[in-house]
Amino acid sequence: MKAVVKERPRMYKAWKQGLQLVEKVTPIVRKGSDVQVKVVAAGICGTDVGIYASKDSLKNNMSSLTTPDVTIGHEFCGRITDAGPKARAHLAKLAIAKATEYPEIRKFVKRRTPAKLARDVSFVKFLYENFIATAEMHITCGVCAQCKLGDYHVCTNTVIRGLHGDGAFAEYVVLPMENILLFKNGEIPEEIVAFMDAIGNATHTVQSLTSIKGKIVAVLGVGVIGLMSVAIAKGAGAKKILVTDASHGENTHEKLEQRRFSMARLLGADECFDVSIPEEKKRFYRVAKEQNHGAGVDAILEMSGSYYAYEDAFRVLRMGGEMALLGLPSGTMPIDFATNVIFPGITIHGVIGRRVWSTWDLMTTILKNNLANRFLKSGFVTHQFPLKDFEKGFDAIANGNALKVLLRP
C-alpha cells in the first residue's frame, strides 16, 4: 500500500525536512482485538505540519521510535475491512447500539446477541457498507493511575498513532477495537468525521469549563482549532463570543479579516479584534471589560499559544472566571500569581487530547445538531487532494490559503 512517512529522528543529527510517499506492507489483523480500516480521508493538522518541518520539540518526542520510519496522520475516517474475533464481538455491540436509532440497522441486527451477530459471515461486509469509522488515536495503557481513575486522556504511557506508531496517511490502518467509533452512513458527513480528532480538541477545551451555557467567552487565536472552538462554544450555548488574533508578515489584516475572522463570524463569533493593531487591542480591552456590567468576560479559551494572549486573558477575565489553555507556547513566561490568579480567584485548566469518551459523545451531539452542516456550508474544508499529492496539501497550509485539508488515498 502507499503511505506518507517520516524517517525516525536521530539525536545529535539533523532531521531532514519533508515527508516521503512510499510503498509499505499493508497492515493486517494479527490479534483478536485488532480492527483493519481502509482509509477514506485523512485530515492534515498542525502536528503533521510540525512533523513535516522537523520541529525540535517533535524530534525529541519521536526519537523513541523503534522503526526506521513512521506513517503519520491521526485524523481520519474509513471503512472496516477486517476484524479479529474479539473485535467483531465489540463492533457488534456498537452496531446494536446504533440499531435503536436506525431501522435498516435494526433489520440486520434483529434480536441477535453481540456474540451471534459477530459470527455472521456477512457482518464485516455489513459494517463496511453501512458505517463510516474513525478512532481515538491516543492509545492508552489501561493500567496506570490515570487510566484506573478513568482519566485516559492523561495516560502516562500514551502512544499517539501518527507520531509514535503508524497512523492514517495510508491506504489502511490497524487499530485496537476499544479505540474505534462507528457512524451510520449519513449520520455525520465523512468530510467532518475525517477530522473529528481535531474537533475533539476544541470540544474538550470548551468541556473543561464548569459550564459555557449563557456565558460570555473570549477565544484568543483563531487558527483551525480556534475556529472549531468558536463553533463548539456556540453550539454548547455560549451567550456571546469575542475573538482575537494577530496579523503579521504575509498574514495582513485584510487577509486575517477575509479568511479567519469572516469564518469565525459564520461559526458564531459576535466580534473580532486584530490585536496586532494598537487601536484594535484597546477596543478589545474596552469591549471585553464592559461585559457583565464591567466585570469582564466569564471565560477564556486560549488557542494561540502566545504569551501576549496570556497577558490579554488576565486583563479581561472577570474575577472568579475560568481560563482553558490548549495553545502550546514556547519557552517560559513570568506570572504574578498573587495578582493574576489567587486574588481574582480564577480557575485555569490545562487541556490535552480528548476525554474518553465524554468528549466524543458531546461533539457527536453538537455535530448532529446542525454543526456538521454548518462546517460544510461555511467552506471550512478548503482543499482535498489524492494522498499521492500530499505536498500540495502542505503547500496550501504553508501559503495561508487553507483551513482544513483532506487527503484521500
Residues near 7 by beta carbon (within 8 Å), at least 6 away in sequence: 15, 16, 20, 68, 69
Per-residue cell: 260: 479567519
Give the CATH class of 2-194+378-408: alpha beta
Alpha-carbon distance of 13 to 29, in angstroms, equals 35
**What one-character-per-residue DSSP string does 204-219 give?**
HHHHTSS--TT-EEEE
381 beta partners: 404
Instruction: Calculate the dihedral angle through the C-alpha atoms of 109, 371, 381, 398, rounding to the nearest 10 degrees.
Output: -120
Closest Cα to residue 122, out of 136, 133, 110, 134? 110
pLDDT tens track for 144-163: 999 999 999 999 999 999 99
Alpha-carbon distance of 167 to 70, in angstroms, equals 8
Residues near 331 by beta carbon (within 8 Å), at least 6 away in sequence: none
Q: What is the DSSP letter of 32?
A: T
State whether CATH 3.10.290.10 applies to domain 202-350. no
Alpha-carbon distance of 42 to 407, in angstroms, equals 5
What local confidence, expressed as pLDDT, does residue 56 receive? 86
Alpha-carbon distance of 222 to 100, in angstroms, equals 38
Q: What percent of the chain has pLDDT over 70?
A: 100
The amino acid at residue 25 is V
Q: What percent of the chain has pLDDT over 90?
A: 92
pLDDT tens track for 54-94: 998 888 889 889 999 999 999 999 999 999 999 999 999 99
Alpha-carbon distance of 21 to 171, in angstroms, equals 12
Sign of the CA dihedral running 294, 299, 305, 310: positive
Residue 251 has pLDDT above 80, yes or no: no
181 beta partners: 134
Domain ranges, ordered by start, for the chain: 2-194+378-408, 202-350
pLDDT tens track for 41-64: 999 999 999 999 999 888 888 988
Of the chain, the end-to-end C-alpha distance in Å amounts to 10
Q: Which helix (H) or strand (E) holds 180?
A: strand 180-184
Judged by DSSP in three states, 388 sits in helix
Ramachandran angles phi, psi of 183, nearest 5°: -130, 130
Alpha-carbon distance of 125 to 128, in angstroms, equals 5
pLDDT tens track for 262-287: 999 999 999 999 999 999 999 999 99
- Alpha-carbon distances, residue 66 vs 62, 147, 398 (angstroms): 10, 25, 30
What local confidence, expressed as pLDDT, does residue 193 receive? 98
Judged by DSSP in three states, 392 sits in helix
What local confidence, expressed as pLDDT, does residue 396 receive? 95
Choose between 64 and 360: higher pLDDT.
Answer: 360
Closest Cα to residue 353, out of 175, 154, 178? 154
Q: Report yes or no: 322 and 349 within 8 Å, Cβ to Cβ.
A: yes
At 11, is the pLDDT very low, low, confident or very high (cuts 50, 70, 90)?
confident
At 253, is the pLDDT very low, low, confident or very high (cuts 50, 70, 90)?
confident
Residue 127's Cβ-count burial label (10 Å; 0-12, 13-18, 19+) is buried
Residues near 365 by beta carbon (within 8 Å), at least 6 away in sequence: none
What local confidence, expressed as pLDDT, does residue 197 receive? 96
pLDDT tens track for 373-398: 999 999 999 999 999 999 999 999 99
What local confidence, expressed as pLDDT, does residue 260 receive? 94
The amino acid at residue 123 is F
Alpha-carbon distance of 81 to 319, in angstroms, equals 53
The amino acid at residue 188 is I
Residues near 115 by beta carbon (within 8 Å), at least 6 away in sequence: 89, 92
Strands 34-44 and 20-23: unpaired
Mean pLDDT of the chain: 95
Choose between 364 and 401: higher pLDDT.
Answer: 364
- Average pLDDT on 316-344 reads 95
Which stretches within 166-297 are classed as H helix? 190-193, 196-207, 224-235, 253-256, 262-267, 278-294
Q: Which helix (H) or strand (E) holds 397?
A: helix 390-398
At 250, is the pLDDT very low, low, confident or very high (cuts 50, 70, 90)?
low
Residue 192 has pLDDT above 90, yes or no: yes
Q: What is the DSSP letter of 292?
A: H
What local confidence, expressed as pLDDT, does residue 132 receive? 98
pLDDT tens track for 205-216: 999 999 999 999
What local confidence, expressed as pLDDT, does residue 215 receive? 98
pTM of the model: 0.94
- Average pLDDT on 359-371 reads 95
